[in-house]
A = this chain, B = another copy of it.
Amino acid sequence: MTANPVLAHTLRGNWIENRHRGAICVSDAEGNILASIGDVAADVFPRSAIKSMQALPIFATGANVRYGLAGPAIALSCASHNGEPAHAELAASMLAAIDLDETALECGAHPPIDPAARKALFAQGGKPSTLHNACSGKHSGMLAVARALGEDTKGYSTRMHPVQQRVRQAVEEVLDYPLTESRCGTDGCSIPTWAAPIHAIARGFARMASGTGLSEQTAAAAREIFAAATSHAFLVGGTGTFDSEAMAAFDGRLMLKFGADGIYCGALVDSGIGFALKCDDGSVPAATAMAAALLLEIASPTPEQTKILQTRARQDQRNWAGHEVGYIEATEAARLKL
C-alpha cells in the first residue's frame, strides 16, 4: 500500500515534530472527481461527519411534521455539539415532544465539551447527563423516527433495530454505495458506523447539496437538512467550533461537519460540490487544518471567511505556561485546486 501524502504537520520551534497523512476528495454529484490527493478509494468510517445523511429518516417517516421538529431540532440532529445549555435544552425538548426524557438516550453521558458549560454544570452541583453528550440531538432525532415507525424505542441504537436499518438505507441511497457488515463498527455514541470510500462520501455530499441522483422526497429532505444546519450553525457545534464558525460565516453557502478520528465532510451548497477527507492517524486538529486549507482554495472565501479559515489552516499551539511553542498547519499538498 502506497502511503498517503503528508497533508498537515506540527512545527515546534523551528523543526517539524509530527506529520499527518491523509486523503482528500472533491466531487460533483455525478461522481466526477474534481480534485483529489491520496487514496480516495479507501473505505473509511465517516463517523459523525454524515449526521446530515443519518437525519434523512426523520423526514422520510414524517417524524419532523408529526413531532414539530423545526429547523433548530433538525440542526441539532446533525450536530456534534458542545453540550452548552442551548444544546442540552433543545435535546430535552425534542425528547419531551415524543413523551420521552434523557433516560431514553443510549449515547452515554459525558460532561459538556464546552469548558464554560462544564464549569457551570459542576459549579451548580450538576451531573453530566446523556443530554450533554455531543450526539444527543442525533439520538433524539432517531428516537423520533422510532416513534413515527411505531417501533420500540429501547434498543433504537443497535444495528438490527428498524431505526438503524432506515438510517443505513438512507445513507446507502445518498452514497449510492452498499454498506456491508464486513466493514462495520460501533460509533462513540453506540450506533453502527459503516465504512465507505472517501470519493463516495464526497459524491454523497454533492448529491445532498444538489439533489442530483436522489428521489424527489430525499432531495427535498436533504435541502431542508442543509438549510437547517447552515442557518442554525451554532447548534451543529457550539462556541469556538470550526464547523459553527465557518458555516455561520458562509451564510448558507457551506455545509461543514467533522467526524471523530480525523474526518471532515461537507458541500459547497450553491455549486453542488461535495468534499470528504480522512486524516490517516485520526487526528482531529490535523483534519481541521486540512479542511480549512482545502476550503481556502475551493470555497472562494471573502476576506472575512478567509480569516476564519486561516486560523484553522494554521493553529497556534501554546504550552501550560501560555508560551507559544509552535503550530499545526496544513501543507501545500492539502490546498487542492479545482
Name the segment of A11-19, A29-37, A55-63, A205-213 touching the other chain.
A11-19
Contacts of A17 in B (CB 8 A): 44-45, 185, 261, 282
**Interface members, chain A 186-238 (any B CB < 8 Å):** 186-190, 193, 195
A325 near B185 (CB under 8 angstroms)? yes
Is A65 an interface residue, CB under 8 A from the partner? no
**What are 25 A-B contacts defined by CB distance under 8 Å?**
A10-B261, A12-B193, A14-B182, A14-B184, A14-B185, A15-B184, A17-B261, A17-B282, A18-B261, A18-B262, A18-B280, A18-B282, A19-B281, A21-B281, A107-B320, A108-B320, A108-B322, A110-B320, A186-B323, A186-B325, A186-B326, A187-B325, A188-B320, A190-B320, A280-B281
Nearest to A157 among chain B residues (CB) is B321
Report the contact-size class of chain A (Cβ under 8 Å from the partner): 35 or more
CA distance A106 to B319 in the complex (A): 11
Is A101 an interface residue, CB under 8 A from the partner? no
B185 near A326 (CB under 8 angstroms)? yes
Choice from B18, B20, B185, B262 contacting A13 with Cβ under 8 Å = B185
**Interface members, chain A 93-152 (any B CB < 8 Å):** 106-110, 133
B15 near A195 (CB under 8 angstroms)? yes
If over half of A's interface residues share one DSSP class (helix, strand or loop), that class is named, otherwise mixed; here it is loop
The quantity of this chain's copies bound in the complex is 2
Known A17-B261, A281-B283, A320-B133; judge A185-B45 contact (CB<8 A): no
Is A183 an interface residue, CB under 8 A from the partner? yes
Is A172 an interface residue, CB under 8 A from the partner? no
Nearest to A193 among chain B residues (CB) is B12
Choice from B13, B21, B190, B281 contacting A186 with Cβ under 8 Å = B13
A3 near B15 (CB under 8 angstroms)? no
A319 near B189 (CB under 8 angstroms)? yes
A187 near B319 (CB under 8 angstroms)? yes
Is A176 an interface residue, CB under 8 A from the partner? no
Contacts of A44 in B (CB 8 A): 17
Contacts of A187 in B (CB 8 A): 319, 325
Contacts of A188 in B (CB 8 A): 319-320, 325
